[in-house]
Chains A and B, each alone.
Chain A
């Protein structure tokens, strides 16, 4: 498995501000993924982050709103920009380990926008 940590674990933010979420993995990985989980919902993929290249965003998510950095093989950040209450969610980072089919998740960042 993989040990994944995220910071912050939770935050309450004012509308219009931005928050940067950090994800740290205990070993080098090629791909990192960022997911959003809205209250009571399943996980929705925001983007895939590869080291050394631009992140690939899923339909409905754009770089201006969710800029991602991937400076090395163990670390990534996701910024939620110009926040509105609709951005209140849990944000999770995830990596593949082992066979390439098993995805492991961080503990999540619970964001509340007021």
Chain B
């Protein structure tokens, strides 16, 4: 099935640095969501975006819904060791239809 283009594939950063990752699609999505998956766990919803141009924060995380509705980015400020994990973007075209997922960004934080 279709997948979103997520980049970078992996990142190694120093503790305290800011992180940015993004997701693009060739087609429009009406909702963008960002998830984090820790080893041995299921993905956990971080942020949901519902309107083009919307900028939403959740603590040190900020995500934006691109104005074209074909992209989204996630920023993490002042990274800490517990930010380590895999971050997935996901898109939805309509309610109650399964999400389309990106391939994930694996984040490693060096203390």
Interface residues of A (CB under 8 A from B): 1, 4, 30-31, 33, 41-45, 48, 58-59, 92, 94, 96, 99-108, 110
Interchain nearest-CB distance for B89 vs A (Å) = 10
Q: Are A100 and B95 in contact (CB under 8 A)?
A: yes
Interchain nearest-CB distance for A100 vs B (Å) = 3
When distances are taken between beta carbons in the complex, the residues of chain B under 8 Å from A58 are 1
Alpha-carbon distance between A92 and B3 when the two chains are bound, in angstroms: 18
Q: In chain B between 16 and 70, which residues have their CB closer than 8 angstroms to a CB of chain A?
A: 30-31, 33, 35, 40-45, 48, 50
Q: Can you list 20 pairs linking A and B with CB atoms under 8 Å apart? A: A4-B42, A33-B98, A42-B3, A42-B103, A43-B88, A45-B98, A59-B1, A100-B95, A100-B96, A101-B30, A101-B31, A101-B48, A101-B50, A101-B92, A103-B33, A103-B45, A103-B99, A105-B42, A108-B40, A110-B40
New A-B contacts (8) at CB < 8 Å, excluding given A103-B98, A103-B99: A4-B42, A41-B103, A42-B102, A42-B104, A59-B1, A101-B50, A103-B33, A107-B42
Interface residues of B (CB under 8 A from A): 1, 3, 30-31, 33, 35, 40-45, 48, 50, 88, 90, 92, 95-96, 98-99, 101-104
When distances are taken between beta carbons in the complex, the residues of chain B under 8 Å from A107 are 40-42
When distances are taken between beta carbons in the complex, the residues of chain B under 8 Å from A1 are 45
Most A-side CB within 10 Å, residue of B3, B88, B98, B104: B98
